[in-house]
């Protein structure tokens, strides 16, 4: 049975991000996967660091759900990553001081980024260059050995209709089914 961890990086449980996380979880569980969800808005960074690391070690797939604010994930998610994805857990510098070799300690895992934004995703990807997505994929996850990284962007949330949001929720449910 495939094990998935959803890391919900929006500080509010009343957000569209939370709706996407719950719908993804529903699809994944319907197809027989074991799913845990970690809400960073309720996360006690000092107390829950070990629990988060244990969950990350336990799973084969990590799904991050977060809003894109100022072209990158929110500070809440970045702070979580900085405190959890530390040397000795997520990666390790080589013992050879003359080499910049990094041991990637989270190999064998995949990830998905699910992000909402106020800008249309095409503008975010083509004009801004997918800054936050590249940071998450290449600067953090690939650096620690997590590959492949899939991306799903939803926006403009502010300008979306009820019908748009229903379609997005249906799409993410189907993605959850197929993970």
Domains of the chain: 3-178 (3.40.50.360)
Percent over 90 (pLDDT), the chain: 87
d(CA 153, CA 143): 22
Question: CA quadruple 25, 177, 53, 148: dihedral positive or negative?
Answer: negative
Summarised one tens digit per residue, pLDDT across range 81-115 is 999 999 999 999 877 767 778 999 999 999 999 99
Give CA angle at 8 (134, 161), nearest 5°: 85
**pLDDT score at 94:** 79
Residues of the chain with pLDDT under 70: 43-47, 97
| pTM for the model | 0.95
**pLDDT score at 48:** 85
136: which 2 tokens? 């998450």
**pLDDT score at 150:** 98
Cα 23 to chain centroid, rounded = 15
**pLDDT score at 43:** 67
């Amino acid at each position: 049975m495939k094990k998935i961890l959803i890391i919900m990086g929006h500080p509010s449980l009343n957000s569209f991000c939370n709706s996407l996380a719950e719908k993804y979880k529903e699809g994944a569980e319907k197809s027989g996967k074991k799913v845990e969800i970690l809400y960073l808005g309720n996360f006690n960074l000092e107390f829950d660091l070990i629990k988060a690391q244990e969950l990350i070690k336990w799973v084969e797939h990590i799904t991050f759900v977060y809003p894109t604010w100022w072209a990158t994930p929110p500070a809440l998610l970045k702070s979580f990553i900085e405190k959890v994805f530390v040397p000795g857990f997520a990666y390790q510098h080589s013992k050879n001081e003359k080499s910049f070799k990094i041991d990637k300690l989270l190999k064998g895992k995949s990830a998905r980024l699910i992000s909402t934004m106020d800008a249309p995703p095409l503008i975010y990807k083509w004009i801004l260059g997918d800054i936050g997505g590249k940071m998450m994929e290449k600067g953090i996850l690939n650096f620690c050995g997590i590959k492949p990284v899939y991306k799903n962007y939803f926006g403009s949330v502010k300008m979306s209709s009820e019908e748009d949001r229903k379609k997005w929720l249906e799409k993410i449910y189907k993605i959850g089914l197929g993970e």
